[in-house]
Structure 1
Amino acid sequence: MARSPKTSDEDRARSRDVGALKALWPFLAPYKGIMALAIAALVLTACVSLALPLAVRRVVDNFEIDTGTLLDRYFAVALAMAALLALGTAARYYLVTRLGERVVTDIRKAVFARMVGMSPAFYERIMTGEVLSRITTDTTLILSVIGSSASVALRNLLILVGGLVLLLLTSAKLTGLVLLIVPAIIVPIVVLGRRLRELSRENQDWIAASSGNASETLLSVQTVQAYSHEARSRARFNEVTEKSFAAARRRIGTRALMTAIVIFLIFAGIVGVLWIGARDVNAGAMTVGALVQFVIYAVMVAGAVGALTEIWGELQRAAGATERLVELLNAEDSLPEPAQPRPLPEARGEIAFEDVSFSYPSRPDVSALDHVSVTIRPGETVALVGPSGAGKTTMIQLLLRFWEPATGRVLLDGIDLREMSRPDFRRQMALVPQDPVIFADTARENIRFGRPDASDEEVEAAARAAAAHEFLMALPQGYDSQVGERGVMLSGGQKQRIAIARAILRDAPVLLLDEATSALDAESERLVQRAVDRLATGRTTLIVAHRLATVKKADRILVFEGGRIVAEGSHEDLVAGGGLYARLARLQFTDGMAEAAE
């Protein structure tokens, strides 16, 4: 099924005017100087444009009176005005375009900074591709407004107002007739403009949905191809993209209709006014120069109205884009930072879960953890074992405060995580996730991600400790080899060893290993296990594992089932005590060896 964009009544109610563009002011305010210069250049070009018809009238009315010095002077002044107009236009273009690029850059940085700090719960409600679409496509629309449309709109507004004043001074009678058609022009602009903005927002929503669908599919392209799902994926993408096109077609049709109505009304009115003006010239009520001046101003005013009509459509689209970006900037994080975070002294690594219960938002009726209480002493190595879905990884997730307990508390060195800044306490932890994340960079920089200020020697030492040095040196450029997006150039075991090297380099007092050796072959697992054993010395270590061979040396083993701790103790004690752990051990060791013997 194609994912439908949000079309709530509240969203559509907001989509009735361009007031949303006011949200751009905080990004424009730091550049008031550039704005002032741009407006000055804009006013200059508008004034020069409005002065040109006056020169034309002088030339026309004095053409038969004086063909010498006076005409030369008029043409010289006209040439100087053209030069001034060219310089002013160039200055306006440079200033507003630069302003637009600067503001959009700031918006993109602000949105990304906000999004990169949002908790996982936020990304259960919105696809990553939609966020990327807003950062790219929507900011491009805003760039077109700030860098072009806004200044053109202001210039045409000045020409419209100034032109109407000069029309009135040229001929009050003809100007009155022109003004009679203004209400007829405004009505379709207002009525169709509202509809245009709703369609513009809908179009942008579908574009975002299309981007989200494409991002999700392409990030999982190997799985898509492995299951021969290409045709269905194409069909899903085509469905969403066609809906985007349909929305765009309705928007374009509405805008074309509005443009046709406005242009016809404008020029029909001008033709009628010119007909009356020509009769006044024949009757001697006005000069030919005055009629020419009036015609030029009328055309300028009509052109300004037409341009404003076009720009209104752009403003409608940009307002919708601004709303969508503001939604991201104002998005509420379900895990707010404390107003006055408590400082964390040098971490000792004591971890405590006090009566913690938790359910994932997507599965509110299923308890991932059910009244779990446990204390892990500084420097202790504790293994979390049990069947899939028992709550082991959830413990790691809550300890990193990716999620918030429904009840109870999670403490580090006696301080509730909710009372500390997330970056502060996370710096005291090193994580090796079950699915290691590798960035599209060099192998060296992927390891250095654990501690950005680490030297090359420290990076290589961490790689040696994680049994990664040999395969890294075998790459075409060694440590400086590009590993591809999400590490596509590496095997699963190689990616896991880089992730372990990253954790070793971080050198944090708390070490979190979530199936850290699950993708390793037997030899690499033995080497990495030795590295982990050395690394765990003097550190608080939590090990999530399905393979019990990797946790036999743990100081304590916690056995999870159904979100509860059903047993704890050493490997020998748990095997002797029977129960779930003994059954798992028998399946992995005794039965496994029997199957191998067969």
Structure 2
Amino acid sequence: MSEPRDDLTSVFRRHRHGVLLTLSLILLTLLAGIGLLGLAGHFLVAAALAGAVATGFNLFGPSAGIRALTFVRILSRYGERLLGHSVTLALARDLRVWFFRRTLPLAPLQLGRYRTGELLARLMGDIESVDGHVVRAVGPLWALGTACVVAVIVATCVLPMAGALLALALATAALLAPWIQQRVSQHLEFRRAELRAQMRYTILEGLEGAGDLFAFDTVAAWQARAHESSAALAACELERKRRLAWGGIVHGLAAAMALPLMAWVLLEAVNRSALGAPAAAGLFFMTVAMLEAAAGASLAWQAWQASRASMDRLQEVVALTPQLQAGSEVPPPAGLLELENISLRWTGQPRPVLTDVSLRLAPGQRIALRGDSGAGKSSLMSLLLRLHGPDTGHIRYAGTALHQFTSAAWHRQLGWLPQEAPIFAGSVRDNLRMGDPLADDERLWWALEQVHLAALIRGWSQGLSGWIGEGGSTLSAGQARRLALARVLLRDAPLWLLDEPTEGLDPDTADAVMRNVAIAAQERALLIITHGELPPGTVQQSWRLIDGCLWRDDAGD
């Protein structure tokens, strides 16, 4: 059985019922408006003629039709806006979830080619353009196309010459004008999308690095870059609007020529009694309504181009193939982790970062891994995280190759402390519960006690509800590090991987924290990457990576 598609089309397909109903309401609103104007013209001329010759006139039929079309237009317009916004918001939600789901398996290596700000620009700006694809592009174009067909059929049935003239006018206003605008501005939509993304990530990077910009007195240079990005986008927008005006000019010329010709054709038909004056007025006002509706075709086509450009930018990211394909098995609750003759060379690097590395980590065992910068420690850790696979050798857990497990199931086995563990804007409780969403306050305080943060947090007026700024800005580097470590201690996982857990801590605090970590680990397997010395009894084995080769080193423990 084939796997279900997971592309942009599948996201829209999940909302097909809401999309179809929205399109129907957009069409109904347009048809009601056109019918209302045509019927009003018919009614006014018929009433005027009836008054002039003092003959009987059915006032109630047309007036009832006008009221009915008015109510239909009001209700369909309201329903279109209500449902259209609901569908757009649902699409925005699902598009972001889809983008996250497709890009997370690419992190961090394959996403490394993109700046964080650029990815954020695609997540925000491009998805914002795509989620309005239905109400800003597809809906208006579908409604206008259908209304044109209906109007031409009606006009042809009443007066074939009028139908032919209306078809020519609408072809010019609704097809030729947008085609000219599209031809002269198509590349600008892609350029505009790129410039919008560039401005976003320029500003974002400046805000993130504001401290360094001030420290190195480079604020003026960054402001110049931001101004340059903004000016380039403004110039593109101006050129885009200038070229869009060409479509307006063609539409205006089409209307200026079509309306007098339509009036002449209708008057000539009335003069030779081929058509009644009220019917002629109805056709003329219907022509006016159709030409007015056709004025929005250029904007709709422009929205179509913009959303297509954004779709291409999103597809560019998600089309990357993950280096590792997840398996289908679920690992057991505990097992022996084995690395056997592992070698790894990064693409484009002259020498391997890991060479013939073998290591065994059993439940309850604690191992320290040391090495100089660039020795391969982080590369080894990324293999254990299954961010990529080794060039040669095998990694097994409980006798099963790591690549046979699903990514989500394997990551549930891990408690992971990276070198730059993120601290999120929110309360202390929110940050800690990332380790265990179901942990009660008693368990949260226990974790804070283990990392010697409980006294600090108890001193805050709001305690666990105390606010932490983005990136841990309200904490020192050492406090933020310990909070991230407490998050790992809460994680009920059989394998803990700690990368420099005592970074930024004074020696006494570091020793006290690591003793508590060793006790808290209990029967878990624990691998610690560290440059510093660990207190006696923290680990049972110590290994050192030297130029990608692993050597036993128990001298320091």
TM-score, length of structure 1 as denominator length = 0.83
Name 1:344's counterpart in structure 2.
Answer: 331
CA distances 1:90-109 after superposition (whole Å, capped 9, x unpaired) = 22332233222222222222
**Structure 1 residue 31: deviation in Å?**
3.9
CA distances 1:86-142 after superposition (whole Å, capped 9, x unpaired) = 223222332233222222222222222333443311221222222222232223223
Name 2:263's counterpart in structure 1.
Answer: 274
**Structure 1 residue 470: deviation in Å?**
0.9
Q: 1:551 to 1:370 in 2, by over 3 A?
A: farther
Name 1:16's counterpart in structure 2.
Answer: none
Name 2:452's counterpart in structure 1.
Answer: 467
Amino acid in structure 1 at the alignment position of 2:343: S
Q: Distance in 2 between matches of 1:51 and 1:355?
A: 78
Q: Distance in 1 between matches of 2:460 and 2:346?
A: 41
Name the SS for the 2:339 alignment partner: strand
Q: 1:257 to 1:556 in 2, by over 3 A?
A: same
Name the SS for the 1:372 alignment partner: strand
Name 2:496's counterpart in structure 1.
Answer: 511
Output the aligned Cα RMSD.
2.9
Q: Distance in 2 between matches of 1:511 and 1:44?
A: 61
1:306 aligns to 2:306 (yes or no): no
Q: Distance in 1 between matches of 2:269 and 2:325?
A: 74
Amino acid in structure 2 at the alignment position of 1:208: A
Name 1:18's counterpart in structure 2.
Answer: none
Unaligned runs of 5+ in 1: 1-21, 574-598
Contact 2:34 2:290 in 1 (8 A): no
Contact 1:196 1:316 in 2 (8 A): no
Q: Distance in 1 between matches of 2:58 and 2:262?
A: 31
> Which segment is superposed worse, 26-35 or 385-394?
26-35
Match of 2:178 among 185, 189, 195: 189
Match of 1:482 among 467, 484, 507: 467
1:132 aligns to 2:120 (yes or no): yes
**Structure 1 residue 78: deviation in Å?**
2.2
Q: What is the 5 A alignment of 1:74-473?
A: 74-180=62-168, 185=173, 186-275=175-264, 277-278=266-267, 286-338=275-327, 341-348=328-335, 350-361=336-347, 364-473=349-458
Name 1:590's counterpart in structure 2.
Answer: none
Q: 1:265 to 1:440 in 2, by over 3 A?
A: same
Amino acid in structure 1 at the alignment position of 2:69: M
The number of residues matched between the two structures is: 547
Amino acid in structure 1 at the alignment position of 2:191: E
CA distances 1:362-385 after superposition (whole Å, capped 9, x unpaired) = x53343223322333443322222
Q: 1:492 to 1:46 in 2, by over 3 A?
A: closer
Name the SS for the 2:359 alignment partner: strand
Amino acid in structure 2 at the alignment position of 1:129: G
**Structure 1 residue 215: deviation in Å?**
2.7
Name 1:546's counterpart in structure 2.
Answer: 531
Contact 1:357 1:408 in 2 (8 A): yes
> Which segment is superposed worse, 177-186 or 485-494?
177-186
> Which segment is superposed worse, 59-68 or 516-525?
59-68
Unaligned runs of 5+ in 2: 1-5
Contact 2:515 2:535 in 1 (8 A): no
Q: Distance in 2 between matches of 1:70 and 1:446?
A: 74
Contact 2:424 2:471 in 1 (8 A): yes
Name 1:27's counterpart in structure 2.
Answer: 11
Q: Distance in 2 between matches of 1:557 and 1:40?
A: 69
Q: 1:376 to 1:51 in 2, by over 3 A?
A: closer
Q: 1:24 to 1:157 in 2, by over 3 A?
A: farther
**Structure 1 residue 456: deviation in Å?**
1.3
Q: What is the 5 A alignment of 1:555-594?
A: 555-565=540-550, 567-571=551-555
Contact 1:167 1:294 in 2 (8 A): yes
Amino acid in structure 2 at the alignment position of 1:343: V
Name the SS for the 1:558 alignment partner: strand
Amino acid in structure 1 at the alignment position of 2:513: V
Contact 1:356 1:370 in 2 (8 A): yes
CA distances 1:395-440 after superposition (whole Å, capped 9, x unpaired) = 2121111232222222223322111122222222222222232111
> Which segment is superposed worse, 352-361 or 514-523?
352-361
Q: 1:354 to 1:210 in 2, by over 3 A?
A: farther
Q: Distance in 2 between matches of 1:551 and 1:72?
A: 99
**Structure 1 residue 390: deviation in Å?**
0.9
Name 2:3's counterpart in structure 1.
Answer: none
CA distances 1:442-480 after superposition (whole Å, capped 9, x unpaired) = 112212211212221111111111111111112231121
Name 1:589's counterpart in structure 2.
Answer: none
1:502 aligns to 2:483 (yes or no): no
Q: 1:54 to 1:539 in 2, by over 3 A?
A: closer
Q: Distance in 1 between matches of 2:492 and 2:78?
A: 56
Q: Distance in 2 between matches of 1:90 and 1:380?
A: 66
> Which segment is superposed worse, 217-226 or 271-280?
271-280
Name the SS for the 2:545 alignment partner: strand
Q: 1:101 to 1:532 in 2, by over 3 A?
A: closer
Q: Distance in 2 between matches of 1:543 and 1:396?
A: 10
> Which segment is superposed worse, 420-429 or 235-244?
235-244
Q: Distance in 2 between matches of 1:242 and 1:425?
A: 48
Name the SS for the 2:374 alignment partner: coil
**Structure 1 residue 325: deviation in Å?**
3.1
**Structure 1 residue 561: deviation in Å?**
2.1
Contact 2:415 2:496 in 1 (8 A): yes
**Structure 1 residue 34: deviation in Å?**
3.5
Q: 1:306 to 1:238 in 2, by over 3 A?
A: same
Q: 1:505 to 1:282 in 2, by over 3 A?
A: same
Q: 1:184 to 1:425 in 2, by over 3 A?
A: closer
Name the SS for the 2:386 alignment partner: coil
Contact 1:200 1:248 in 2 (8 A): no
Name 1:5's counterpart in structure 2.
Answer: none
Name the SS for the 1:506 alignment partner: coil
> Which segment is superposed worse, 218-227 or 176-185?
176-185
Q: Distance in 2 between matches of 1:252 and 1:446?
A: 47
**Structure 1 residue 527: deviation in Å?**
1.8
**Structure 1 residue 71: deviation in Å?**
3.0
CA distances 1:327-346 after superposition (whole Å, capped 9, x unpaired) = 444442222212xx233122
Q: Distance in 1 between matches of 2:456 and 2:178?
A: 67
Q: Distance in 1 between matches of 2:436 and 2:124?
A: 30
Name the SS for the 1:384 alignment partner: strand
Contact 1:54 1:293 in 2 (8 A): yes
Q: Distance in 1 between matches of 2:362 and 2:14?
A: 51
Q: Distance in 1 between matches of 2:306 and 2:15?
A: 24
Q: Distance in 2 between matches of 1:461 and 1:301?
A: 71
